[in-house]
Every structure is written in C-alpha cells, then in structure tokens.
Structure 1
C-alpha cells in the first residue's frame, strides 16, 4: 500500500502542491523560532562560559529567587556584599592562590557628542554598559589589552574594541559616562577584547581603576569576589571551605556551575518565547488543516471510480484507508522538510538583520534537533488528522456504488453537521455568558474556552449559512455580472461543505487579527484614559533607572515649578512572601495624580494603604501588617485602600519608606507647574538644565507618554499580525487550492460551457467571483467573531483595569478590502487553468 500511495503522489503532484505549501509555512514558523532561540541560547552560553571559564570560584550574594532566574551575573549591578576583611579571609583559605574583589559601576557610556533628545525611545547608542574595576589579572578581568594601556589613574578608562568605534571614540578622546548622580569624564587610554572574540551580545564593556570604581559606587566594599585556586586544588572543596566563612546571604560557587546556572536561567526565559511562537505555528497549521481536509475530500471524490476498481479486485476498505493515510504521510514528510529548510533560511536572514542593527546577539545559527523533531511531528500530526475523515469516507464506499460514480461527491445532508455545530456554538455562548455575567472567579478562562467552542461551532454552521447566502446572492450577482455571477453562486451552493471549509480557514485568520486589533485598540483606550488621570504637567523618568535627587532639586528649584512629588518602588517581605511597596510623598501625591484610593493619601497617618491583592487575603482597614525591608522591619496599621489592580501591594509615606529601606531613590517624579506657565517652553528649559549633569533624565508630558505607550502597543500589534500573516497566507492558498481542485473536478462542465459559446473571459470571471464571495464571506464572519470575542475578553479583564471596548474600524475596513483583493489573487491560477482548457478534451473527460 505504501508503494501505491507513493506512486499516487508522484504521478499527481500538482493537486497536492498548495497543500504541501500550507503545511510547510506553518512548520517553517516553528523551525525558525526554535533555530533562533537555540542560536540566542548558544550565544549567551558562550558569553557565560567566557565570563566564568577562567574564574575557578565565584563568591557572590545568594540569588533572592534562584528558581525564578534572578541572580547575580555580569548583567546585574548589586549592592556591595563583601568587605576588605572578607577578601583577606578568603585569601587565607587553603587552596586559594589569589582572590580579587569585583566592583560593578552602574553607569552608561554615552556616544561621543551625545545630546539628550528628551525622547525615551532615542536610546544612548546601543546595549547596556557593563563597567568594572580593572585588576590586571586576565583570568579575572576576562579581557585582554589589545591597544593602548590599562587604566592607572582615576581619570582613565578602557573600552572594548567594538564599542569604542561604535560610540565614536578613539584613544585619547574624552569619554562621558552618565551616572545616577551626575556625569563623569575619563580619558580613553586603551582598548580590550573580551574573551576570544569580544562577543558581548551588544553590550559595552568598560574598566576603570579600583579606587575610582569604589568612589563611583560610594563605598569601599565589593559586590563579588573572583577566586583563583592553587594548582591541583579541588574547586568544589575550595568553594565549600569558603562557604564556611562567608557572611549570611552570600555563597561560593565554582565558575563552571555558575555558567551552567546562568545558561539554565536564560533557557527558562527562552522557552516562553518558543511557546509563544509555536502557538502561532500551530494556528497556521490549524488553518492549514482546512486545506488538507478539502484537498483529500476532493481527491477522494475524483478518484471514486479508481477506488471502486481497487475494491472490485479485492482491496479491503482498511487497505484503502491505509493507502490514503500513507499519502498524507508522504505529503507531511515532504512539506515538513521544505518547512524546515525555509525556517532555517528565515532564521539565518533574521539573525543577520538583527546583528546589522543591534550587534552580535546570536551564536552560530545551526538547526537544532528539537526543531527537526517538532517540525516533522507537527506536520505529520496535522496532515494525518486532517486526512482521516476523507480516508474513512473512501473506505466505506461500496465497490458497485463507486463504479457508478462520475467523480461527484455524495450529497449528504447537513443535518448532523448543523446539530453538532449548533450544540458546540451554544456551549460556547453559555461559557462566555458565564464568564461575563455570573461574577465567577477568573472569568477570562471561561471566556477563552467559550470562544474556542464558538469558533468550532460557527465553522460547522458556516455550511448552512452559505446555502441561503448563495441563494440570496444569486440574483444580485446575476444582475451585476450576468450569467457569470449566477454560475458562481450556483457553484458555491452546490458544494456548501467545501465552500464553508474554504471560507472558514480565512475566517479563523481574520478572526484572530480582528480579536487582537480589538484588544489592542481597547488597551490603547485604557492607557489613554489612565494618562488622563494625571494632574501633573510632566513625568520625570530616567533611562538609566532611578531619578537622582540632584535632578529633582534642579527641577524643583526652577522658576515656574510649583512642586515635585516622587514615587519609589521597593520590595519587602510580607508573611514570608516578597511584595511590592510604593513609597510616596503623601501630602502631595493626590495633587499630582488622581489615584483610586480611599481615603486620599494625605490621610495615611503613618500607616499603610493596601492593594487589591492584599485585600483579597482578608486584610482590612484597621488591621496591622508587618513588613520587612532591606533596612528594617515595621508593623503598620492599615489606614486606607488602594483599588487599582496590578499596581503596588503596599503604599507607604517617605518616613515609613526610609525606615524600611533606608534612603529610597525615586522611580519617577511628577512635576506640577504654576498656573499660566507655558508647558512646552518649560519642558525645553528644564531639559536644557538637566542635560549638563543628568543627561539620562527625560521629561515627558502625559500626552507624550500616552503616545509612547500606544507606539509600543502598535508595535505589539504589528508583531502579532506578522506572525498571524502565515495563517492568512495559508488561508488564501486554501481558497486557491479549493478552486483549483474544483476546476479539475468540473472539467467536463467547463468544457460544455465553452462548447455552447461561453468565452474564456467569462470562465475567468466566474471563478474569480466564486473566490471573492468565499473570501469576503470568511472575512466578514471572522470580523464579527473577532470583534465580538475581543470585546468579551476585554470585559472579562475588567479587574485588571480594562473598562473600555474600542472597535478598530479602520482595521476592519482594511481587512474587508484585503479580503476582496486576496479573493482576486487566489483565483488567478485556477481561473487561468479553467480558461485554457481544450474544449474537446474537457468534454471527453470522464470526470
């Protein structure tokens, strides 16, 4: 049977080309994603290996939540954990040859001639800056001096060989480094190469003297200690011995284990990217399954007589079914192979594009084995499942019935399909209603489940809808397109299952686009309404992290500024769990922002306000809560409620914040101007005053922030729409595939039409109208479902602040026009083939 299946595919490849392409596109998306994340992982694995390969033992702070992947690495500046005495004690441990204290400075190397633009999107010339103290020991610095000299005085700096030219610096130039408390200038005296290839994943590497690093950090401690063991010493034993003398909250770990830990944490993050993209690959394959079902159903119909002859000579129904499924396997293997190749080539192109703009983020782009396995498994699964029903149908046809067939599909009534579809759709509607109107916990889960059921139900019911639609359209199409329109409507009505499945593929793609567009449009409306709550004239933010007190002093001391109020975000332990804490200036907070709190913050009275998540634990006004911060523990009375979901769990005044965390640094500052002050002019004035000493501090008006947030939302919409584009392309290919196979099936009919005088142009127009009707029907049905389900999802997320449902009218118009155009495009090949048929051969065909 495998030989028969192989020969069938080999001798009739044209009818399966578009099916293979549909599967290949879905597989390509999966293969490309897995290849890219594997390359990204290998690139960072190499980086982590070069960071820790030459360090025998790393002494550091214990990660606060190691399982969640938060720990100390080259990319995390942390507080000083070790003293000079700790360093001396570690050097005295048996097996330790040398120990070096590590200091990471939280600063940003600015491009040469950098001028602040006041735009948070402008950036500062590339990736993050990693700035350390220079020890002179290559095993510790992980860098080799390749040009110039090492820093020997406090006004000198060295940069890596790639970042210096990228930022516009040469040896001898003055390098500007923006710190949290101002700007420092250094003379560039040397260039270094990190590891063997300076693969920094886009970051900038800088070194200063140890004394200057201490001065910039503001203490004489170390954040990390690198240990070089003596020759022949057991690294694990040395690490264990060091652990015995370390202060609480710190640890010693071998370099190899640290590199593996960092790589594992990165892989945990990348797996979510894999899941995200694989989900879109599955969507594309799901849409492709409609094409496969249609293709095999039409093929089975066209080969009815062939199957009858096979049954007549003794082939069993089981063997026939096996043969068709084997054909599906052949198609799956071929299409998955094509998809893997396309995915790998796409990953190569994407990595080259990213590296051209963002530096060397990826390692060697190789095709991982899991990409191959996933691709073949998904391709085979979708193809086999889709071909199963047509195969079962073929195996149940009796030999005599098959021999009487003229390659026309049996006209089974739609009753069973309608009953099943109606029941599933009704269950979906009930689930959505339960999620929206019963007040049940986590309503979005019920809405999501109901949406899936509703889509399946509508897909099955679409065939029933098409029958009256075709009747209704027949008169309209006849008046507009004469006989060509009438024939097109009749063709759709004659095969409602096939037409519905074709339209359903496009419906699902458009539905997902409309759903995402509705959700993002509603999200933009929510964001815009939130910014309308701002009473302040400016937000002061820093691209370097916190807003320094010096910048706040400059702003508040400028004529025309009424007052500045700050918000700091910290983390404290509550009942053994880390919770977010917002530190505000209670007397000014409500004057700058319309918070949803009861009462106003100026009534906090030395207590604490609690957010919805803490309220859900049963904590009420009047209760006491105990918070443990980095600098102390405080038991505070709950004096009010903060009612917006998703913000900080606890809200305290600056006095309580200082008691818990020491001196807190502002995450943002809100600036209120005097009445009558020109806001735009003041923004220009303040930006110029901040540029000299605090170039990373940016002033943004609420409207500008809203525009920035909406830009990110539009970017998200663009990314998701691009990923869904594969599903839409497959759906359009499905329209073309169905029409192409339908043309083959209707060969004699088309020949007779030509014989009685119908012109080639009329045949072309008939096929095109048929394609456009199916495309527009699927698009309109998809838009109705997408907007409806998108609105339901928004309402289900009301507890997260979604209060407005916004309809993306512009996108809906674009989708409708696009559907008509795609219908014309999809019909080009089938219409061309139909119009080019030889009349006599077409009439002489047996089906």
Structure 2
C-alpha cells in the first residue's frame, strides 16, 4: 500500500527519474544492437568471399602456392576439385586503383544488376567503384596492370557485365582473363566429395602441405601445415572479424567505459531524484510513522518503489534503445555502407539493460531510503524551515579526494612521459574521481565567489542572495555541479584531444608531405585549370630541365636521365614547410628511389655541354620522378618553363573526392598529377571527424542524464527554500525574480562546472594524445580549441537554464500566505 501511494504521489519527479533510467538503458541496448549489427555485417561480407567452398587454403605470409602442391591437394582423398583464386593490382585512367580477383565457383556474392563474368575480358564491378568511376553495365573500361613484365601488354580493355557489392571492393574476372594479368596467389578453394568428412579432409590436406612437419591447430580451429592454413568458411570468418576489429577486448573496454560513465551519472541523478521525493513526502512519511509504520517498512517501500520504477523504465528503455539502433543502422546503410545489416535485438542486450537498470535504480535509492527511516513523527510534523548551514568542514573528503587526485596526476604524468595509455587512462579516471570527491570542498566556495562577483559587476541583489544560499546546502550544490562537470569534462577532453591530434598530425604531414598537389606541367592551360578550381588556394610554377646523371637515380631504368626542378631563393607560398627548399650545392631526391650508396656524395648533372656538381641528399617530400635543386645552381643547365611543374596548395578542409576530381580534370587535359599530400590530410581529417562524431554520440546519453539531474536537484532546492521564497514574496519579491533566483543558481553552477571541466579536459585531452602517439619522432603540439570551448560553455549554460525551467516556475508560484504558514 505504501509503495502504491508513493507511486501515485511521485508525479513529475518520478517521470524525471524514469527518463534517466530510460536514457541509460536505451544507450546500452542501442550500443549493443549496433555492435551486433556491425559484426553480422562483417560476417556476411567475409562469408560471401569464401561461401561455396568447403575448405580454403591460404599462405601464412601471403606467399605463392606452387602448382605441384595444388596437384598434390587435388590427389588427396576426399577432394573433389580445386580452384585457384588469384588477384592483380590495377589502375584506372582517372588515377584510381583497384584489385582484380578471379570469380569464384559456386559463389554467393550478390550481383545487384547484370551478371557475373563468364568470358575473357568481361568484368564485374563493385558498386562503390562503379559510382566513383561513373561506370555502368555495358561500358568499356581500360585497366593498367603495372606489374605485367611486358609494358605493351599492361593495358587491358574489359566489358562491364554486372555491378554488385564485392568483398574488399575487388573487381571480378574469369580465370581466363586473370591468366595474363601478372596475378598473385590469394587462396585455393576446395570442394570435397559429398560422402567425405570435411574435418578429415582438412587434416589430410594440411598433412599434404606440411610434408615432414607436424600439423598444428590455430586459435580459430584451422589446421596449419607448414606455411599454409587450411580453414573452413566459419573459421575464416572468425579470423577475419578478429583482424577487422582488432583486439575485441579493447573495443569492449572502450564501449564499456562510456556505459560506466552514463550509469555513474545516472546513479547521481536517480539518487537526487529520490532525495527530492523523500523531501517532498516529509509530512506523509511522518503521518505513516505516527500511525505505526516502522522504519524498515518505509525503507523497504522506498527500495521497492525504486525497483518497480527501474523495471518499468528499463523495459521502455530496451524498446527505445532497439528503435535507436534500428534507425542508426538504417542511416548507416543509406549514407555510408549499403550492405550494413539491420540491428537485431540481442537477448543479452535485453537482459543486461533490464538487470542493470533495476540494480542501478535500487542502488541509487538506497541512501534516500535510509533518510526516509530517519523521519521522526514530531520533527516531521513541525513547521518546515530552511535547513541549517553545514558547520563541519569535510576533512575526510579533503584527504581522500586529495590522495586520489595526486595519484591520478602522477599516473597522467608517467603515462604522458612514457607514452603509455596503461598509466594515463587509470590516472585520468582516478584524478577525476578525486575532483568529484573534492567537489564538496571547493565547489560551494567557488559558486559563492562567482555569485558575489556577479553581484558587484551586475549590481544584482538576486545573485548575492543566491551566493549566500549556497552555504545552506553545500552538498546539494556540489552534487548538481558534479552532474554538469562530468558532461563538460568529457566533451572538453574529446575536443582538446581531437584538436591536438589534428594540429600534431598536420605538423607532421607538413614535414613529410608539404606539397598538397603537384601537376607535372607548368603550362598556362594547367595553371588556368588549377586557378579555376574552388579548392585551390595558391599556385606556384617552377621551371625544370631534363638532365643526365653520373650515377643511376632509379627514375628511369633504361637511362640515367632525371627531371631537375629549379627552386628559387624566394619564399614560396605553397609548401607547408620551408624544409623542402634545397640549400645551395645540394640536390634533393625522393625516398622512392634506391640511392643509399650515393647519399652525401657529389654527382654530376649533364644537359648538353653544360654540367654541374651537387651533393645528393634524400628528402621524403620530393615529388615522384623528380629531383630538386637550388635554381641558381642548375641555371647553367637551361631551366625551361615548359618542362617544369606546378605546385599547389589546397584548402585545409578539402575532401578526398575533391582531390580526385581535380586530378581527373587535369588528366582530361593530358596533365599527370599527384595529390598524395592532400589525400593523406583529407583522409586523416575525415577519419578524425567520424571518430569525434561517434564519441560525442556515445557521450550524448551522459549529457542528457546530466540535464535531468540538474532539474531534479533544483527541484529539491525549491522545496527546501519554500518558506524563504514565500517570505521574500511577502516582502514584495516579484514572481519573475523568484524564478530568476533558481535560474541564477543554475547559471552559477554551470559557470563553475565550465571552468573546472574545461581545465580538466585540456589536461586529459593533451595527456591522452601524448600517450597514444608513441613515436619519438612526433612532437605533440598542444592546441586549445577556444572556439569549441566557447560553444560548449554556451550550450552548458543553456542546458542548465532549460533544466531550471520547471523548478523556476514552481518557485514563482509560491503563495506568500501558504508558504509562510505552518505545514
């Protein structure tokens, strides 16, 4: 009966707690659903590659399979037939690259339109590749196979017979087409006799390949014979998923960290919610105690209320989470990967969501339940008044919090110095827990100080009154600020880490790839094409000349000729690093050549009857097929504009597709181009943006829960200060001013959480990047994203104001006579 009455009287406050539980459980279920969908998608893709084969033989180090070994396998008992799957590397006229695979027999690869290749010089295109190259069924496409021994036979024209989603985006041809494309062995497909036992044949094939060596079994159950692995389809799929996702324990730990954070915030919010409920039921609890209710009955009733609320909310959360995972999987299929499978509703996700939701709710309601047992009939029926200010300094919190913070900072320092996340991650967690413990010590004084400063600056008595009120409930003030502090710190850490990573990698790319784009022509037509592009920021033309060298530089295997580009002694605006400009007397050559024995030695360049001697040095950023020299040093060779290059700087936010389009535009004008520097920068930026989106999405649940928590705690403040608000209303305080006090309190706590959370985020973000980038050659450049932090501050204040809306309205409706009267 008590539980039933409590649920009826809970009203909107129970709804607030229910929203917290629903969001938390939905977060867990949605994440688990998307992970299950991702795994099933990867499994389907891998299965399509090997489906139809009973066994698959692969080389452990991607080496070849000799024909005699294949013959021996075919003679093994139980083997019906084999098919050798080979692949070749090819390039398109547009500059794009592709893998060309042999079409497997009995394949389950889905052809969306058209048909699979059945004759020589027919090809099946991957859907994404067809879109990139703007190809359709029936089109003729010329592919270049650079590793074909005879250059005259390196170009082959195919007819597109079908389009579908290919494993690894590889284009598919027949065995007959692959024979002349300098193929490399990929794997051998084996069909067994219907009467044969597949596991027996698997062991027999492994013994055939092992020779005198013993047959072993790997972690996935496949048989290892010598340098070869004999696997079933399921074993290959399991291995492939492991390779694609990396260490599954790391992924689980990564996701678990966000789930723990979400539920940690949920515990704070739910606990505050039940404190509000207990505070609002003081009179009802007192009446129950007066008519004979025992302390244990009140405690158990509060816990039972939490359990029932947790169960109902968790069930709703499961459904909401499943719906969210469905929508996300549909969005991924529409915008990123058309083969992404619909998210299922895993039984484990249902059980985990409901169990954790109920347990968290019961645990969070435990302390409020104990407070309910302390209600005395006489004390509770006495007039409600403002609670007395806390007079005892929280020494225990100070000691424990200081120790945790110190240990955490030590772990962060060790991790950053040694580039080891095993120290940095637990150190950051310990430091943050220490700050949360210390919040009871430093947050109330900071909020009070902020309010008094605001009172002086804005001449607002309301801010001064709010600042003084903080002393009355320091625990509640710290708890509310902590809810906001968690969200701000997490978001600030992500922004700081992303910006620092971006700046650091940009600095590295500026050294290793200082030129965004190189056009191997300096004609007016080339320059005009570049200048007409919206993504081009600046263009420099450099003269060049063909010269013969005294030693082979590897640019032309048939001669010692090289293209020398003269770089003038002026500050070019295109290279992102001045390190690329060669000093006098030096000739730079790229790392794509084998000149180890000539490094640091003088070589001679000949052009007609002219010659110069320069010291050869290797520079990683020299354009392919080019050598760079100081223009004054090679002027005697006769530099020509017609044999020069055009260096281009592109916009910082350029995409990979835009770079490809620019290269295609130049190739249509018969101008070769290389945009490797811009592509690397764009790929990194796109990857970082995707990762930030994923992480911020994972943090969304914690932020939503924090907002609900602020509203709950401010509701408790409104209840506790009802007499004070009524007295102020009696003295002439307008309604809007009463509401403004609640909003001002929320704003002050938001400001403190912004300052402290941003400082912690800067530290945690920098330390994380310093620990992740383990290379000694990389210098981490700390870059604080002030603009993003400003946006976070604005959003935090707005979120606090939104959370204070309902409590502010409740305060504004306080009637002077009713509030001052005894309850």
Match of 2:207 in 1: 244
The 1:715–1:327 alpha-carbon spacing in structure 2 relative to 1, beyond 3 Å, is same
The 1:558–1:509 alpha-carbon spacing in structure 2 relative to 1, beyond 3 Å, is same
Q: Does 1:808 align with 2:793?
A: no
Match of 2:86 in 1: 103
Match of 1:235 in 2: 198
CA distance in 1, matches of 2:175, 2:413: 61
CA distance in 2, matches of 1:793, 1:460: 23
CA distance in 1, matches of 2:669, 2:28: 48
State whether residues 451 and 463 of structure 2, in contact with CA within 8 Å, keep that contact through their aligned partners in structure 1: yes
State whether residues 588 and 622 of structure 2, in contact with CA within 8 Å, keep that contact through their aligned partners in structure 1: no
Q: Does 1:225 align with 2:202?
A: no
Q: Does 1:213 align with 2:186?
A: no
The 1:711–1:670 alpha-carbon spacing in structure 2 relative to 1, beyond 3 Å, is farther
State whether residues 519 and 791 of structure 1, in contact with CA within 8 Å, keep that contact through their aligned partners in structure 2: yes
CA distance in 2, matches of 1:54, 1:354: 28
| 1:782 shift after superposition | 1.2
Question: Which stretch of structure 1 is more off in the superposition, 833-842 or 48-57?
Answer: 833-842
Match of 2:124 in 1: 158
Match of 2:536 in 1: none
| 1:567 shift after superposition | 6.0
TM-score by length of 1: 0.72
Matched residue of 2:58: which SS? strand
| 1:375 shift after superposition | 1.9
Match of 1:337 in 2: 315
The 1:782–1:166 alpha-carbon spacing in structure 2 relative to 1, beyond 3 Å, is closer
Q: Does 1:354 align with 2:352?
A: no
Matched residue of 1:152: which SS? coil
CA distance in 1, matches of 2:326, 2:774: 43
State whether residues 390 and 472 of structure 2, in contact with CA within 8 Å, keep that contact through their aligned partners in structure 1: no
The 1:378–1:667 alpha-carbon spacing in structure 2 relative to 1, beyond 3 Å, is farther
State whether residues 52 and 256 of structure 1, in contact with CA within 8 Å, keep that contact through their aligned partners in structure 2: no
CA distances 1:268-303 after superposition (whole Å, capped 9, x unpaired): 656644442332232222223222232222322332
CA distance in 2, matches of 1:232, 1:718: 53
CA distances 1:177-230 after superposition (whole Å, capped 9, x unpaired): 4655597443325227xxxxx6657x54532232431322346xx432222222
Aligned partner (choices 60, 80, 83) of residue 64 of structure 2: 80
Match of 1:131 in 2: 100
CA distance in 1, matches of 2:361, 2:673: 55
Question: Which stretch of structure 1 is more off in the superposition, 775-784 or 244-253?
Answer: 244-253
Q: Which runs of 5+ in 2 are unaligned?
A: 149-153, 211-225, 520-553, 567-586, 603-614, 632-638, 650-658
| 1:34 shift after superposition | 1.0
Matched residue of 2:56: which SS? strand
- Number of residues of Structure 1 aligned to a counterpart in Structure 2: 711
Q: Does 1:394 align with 2:372?
A: yes
Aligned partner (choices 151, 155, 158) of residue 187 of structure 1: 158
Matched residue of 1:566: which SS? coil
1:44-123 superposed matches below 5 A: 44-62=42-60, 78-83=62-67, 85-107=68-90, 115=94
CA distances 1:43-66 after superposition (whole Å, capped 9, x unpaired): 33334444444212222224x6xx
The 1:9–1:589 alpha-carbon spacing in structure 2 relative to 1, beyond 3 Å, is farther
Q: Does 1:674 align with 2:650?
A: no
TM-score by length of 2: 0.74
Question: Which stretch of structure 1 is more off in the superposition, 361-370 or 683-692?
Answer: 683-692
CA distances 1:288-333 after superposition (whole Å, capped 9, x unpaired): 3222232222322332343334344444433333322222222322
State whether residues 333 and 341 of structure 2, in contact with CA within 8 Å, keep that contact through their aligned partners in structure 1: no
The 1:675–1:17 alpha-carbon spacing in structure 2 relative to 1, beyond 3 Å, is farther
Aligned partner (choices 31, 34, 41) of residue 33 of structure 1: 31
The 1:161–1:341 alpha-carbon spacing in structure 2 relative to 1, beyond 3 Å, is same
CA distances 1:737-786 after superposition (whole Å, capped 9, x unpaired): 22234324444443443344322222222222111111111111212222
> Which protein, 1 or 2, shows the higher relative CO under an 8 Å CA cutoff with sep ≥ 6?
1
Aligned CA RMSD, in angstroms, stands at 4.5
Match of 1:729 in 2: 704
Aligned partner (choices 759, 765, 790) of residue 734 of structure 2: 759
Question: Which stretch of structure 1 is more off in the superposition, 92-101 or 406-415?
Answer: 406-415
The 1:227–1:751 alpha-carbon spacing in structure 2 relative to 1, beyond 3 Å, is same
Match of 1:301 in 2: 279
CA distance in 2, matches of 1:9, 1:359: 46
| 1:667 shift after superposition | 14
CA distance in 2, matches of 1:804, 1:165: 39
| 1:245 shift after superposition | 1.9
Q: Does 1:452 align with 2:429?
A: yes
Matched residue of 2:208: which SS? coil
Q: Does 1:325 align with 2:303?
A: yes
Match of 1:13 in 2: 11
